[in-house]
Amino acid sequence: MSKPKVTYFDVNGGRAEPIRLAFFIGGIEFEDDRFPYADFAEVKKRTPLGQVPTLEMDGQIITQSNAITSYVGKLAGLYPNDDFQALLCEEIMCSIEDVTTRIVGTFGLDGEALKTAREKLLNDYLIPHLKWLESKLSGNDYFIESRLTVADLKVMAHLGWMQSGMLEHIPNTAIAQHTPALNTYFSKLRQHPKITEYYQNH
């Protein structure tokens, strides 16, 4: 197998973050191909569907972030072996992808239109989704099998984005305010030794 290559924007976060983390935690060498937003128009010409992240290996370019995340999770030992637990893992990851798509759908808006769209998204979907995630966590340290999986990595990247302050009109205090247990989970997860090590180097 050739050395895998992950291509994504030069940011810590986003759809490639769980993939990068899974490779790192699994001790699997990979090429972290990062590019500035200004280069996206050119980069997407080389992708199957005009989007990133992509995973390039053995002469093939694979798209779709959840598919890549699940695959790398299996390589890294961060994916459930049990079929039902795998279903629960995919449920969490797909829900995060749904949320991400809804947020991205507000990009390009500005002014009052952005404020109205983001506030509606927060109240009608983001807060209910956070509460659903908290219920799925059920007081545990991890979502699946009482151990770290790619579901946690996907959730962590999303919660980090919400707390970053980068999303105008979505308060970075929403998680702590509405789902304190989920907020505690996020804080503990960021203290995982391998995750701490990753961010010390990135």
Q: Determine if the pTM surpasses 0.85.
A: yes
Rounded average pLDDT over 76-99: 98
Residue pLDDT, tens place only, 28-62: 999 999 999 999 999 999 999 999 999 999 999 99
- Cβ–Cβ under 8 Å, residues 159 and 175: yes
| pLDDT of the residue at 189 | 97
- Name the nearest CA neighbour of 158 among 201, 110, 94: 94
- Name the nearest CA neighbour of 78 among 136, 115, 25, 156: 25
Domains and CATH numbers, the chain: 5-77 (3.40.30.10), 83-192 (1.20.1050.10)
Report the Cα 67 to chain-centroid distance in Å: 12
Residue pLDDT, tens place only, 88-109: 999 999 999 999 999 999 999 9
pLDDT at 131 over 80: yes
